[in-house]
Copies of this chain bind each other. A is one copy, B any other.
Amino acid sequence: MVAIDRTEELHATIEARLRRVEQRYTGGRRALVDLLLDAGRPLSIGEIAEALPSLPRSSAYRHLVDLQTAGVVRRISATDEFARFELDEHLTEHHHHLICTSCGRVLDITPSAGFERTVSRQLGELAAAQGFTPTSHVVDVLGTCADCA
């Protein structure tokens, strides 16, 4: 049961991160993390509310803020008006997004390590030229998803 072990390890890491900022890994928070975990793509508040009907929105929003503070969740803004949430890359792996400009859905893609190296190096040089200190990068592909095509 390697998969389950990994999941448990993940939850342990998350709990540790929450403790670091004096917060508990409660049921509501864990439900949210589990949801993001098995969605495998960034979810909007609407999708979260639909998947977890018993979780009030005010609590969902607060949990998301707390989880962001703890470095567990990352917030991204796509092309539509709603923010979307995904697990931090430290818990999953470095990846980028395909954003459907028709329905707003966001899918994950993971480029090769070589690609990432090239991108980082090039962008690092350009950033340095403007006195900018890079910490990470975001690569989004805009277009139309299979459902909307």
Q: Which of A's residues lie within 8 Å of B, judged by CB?
A: 77, 96, 98, 100-101, 107, 109-112, 115, 118-119, 122-123, 126-127, 130-146, 149
Contact = CB atoms under 8 A, between A and B. Distances in A.
Q: For the complex formed by this chain, how many copies does it contain in all? A: 2
A90 to B, nearest CB: 15
B132 A145 contact: yes
Contacts of A132: 98, 100, 107, 141, 143-146
A139 B123 CA distance: 9
A11 B137 CA distance: 34
B137 A109 contact: no
Contacts of A107: 130, 132
A65 to B, nearest CB: 13
A123 B140 CA distance: 9
A75 to B, nearest CB: 8
Contacts of A109: 123, 126-127, 130
Given A111-B123, A122-B115, A123-B109, A141 B131 contact: no
